[in-house]
Amino acid sequence: MPTWDPKFGPNPLATEVTARLVQFVGRIASTPPFAQKLKAGGARVPDIKAESLENAIDIVRQSEIGVFHPCGSCNKGSVADTNLRVYGVRGLRVVDASFFPLVPVGNIQSVVYAAAEKAADVVMAERRQIVARGLGDRNTPEWEELHSYVGLR
């Protein structure tokens, strides 16, 4: 079974910024009028007592989780080419959120649909090039090579 390591916390600057945010949220929660809206002695998950930056960093490291719609897990250019063909796997393309450089605002579904539309355009353009060059005939040696990349076997 493959293992995916999201590499939470490998960047010390990102961890420190998040820890300082934890401290800031703690200060907001203890400041009126917000503090008056919270149950006195109420439980927090995690129990945030980030008096020091080191303590806040520990809280971040212990409680970091992934988002519900992960994206950006593949580096486009190192996993697939600009036509979404996966390196080293003949006939396979990546058409999902794994190659998004940034997390979209809101749900990623509409952006995935847009990526799929673009991928369909790429595949169809390659198919049109094959037909225009007369390589659509199975009797040519280039047919197998080109059709395997486009996925038209």
Q: What is the pTM of this model?
A: 0.49
CB 135 within 8 A of CB 143: yes
Computed on alpha carbons and rounded to an integer, the radius of gyration of the chain in Å comes to 24
Distance, CA of 153 to CA of 148 (rounded, Å): 6
pLDDT score of 85 more than 70: yes
The whole-chain average pLDDT of the chain stands at 78
Q: Over the stretch 3-59, which tens digit does the pLDDT of each residue have?
A: 766 667 677 888 899 899 988 988 888 888 888 888 877 666 666 666 789 888 888
Backbone angles phi, psi at 72, to 5 degrees: 80, 20
pLDDT score of 117 more than 90: yes
Report the number of secondary-structure helices (H) and strands (E) in the chain.
5, 0
Domain ranges of the chain: 12-63
Catalytic positions: 69
SS3 115: helix
Q: Over the stretch 61-72, which tens digit does the pLDDT of each residue have?
A: 887 776 667 787
Distance, CA of 124 to CA of 129 (rounded, Å): 9
Residue 84, both tokens: 């979404």
Other C-beta atoms within 10 Å of 19: how many?
21
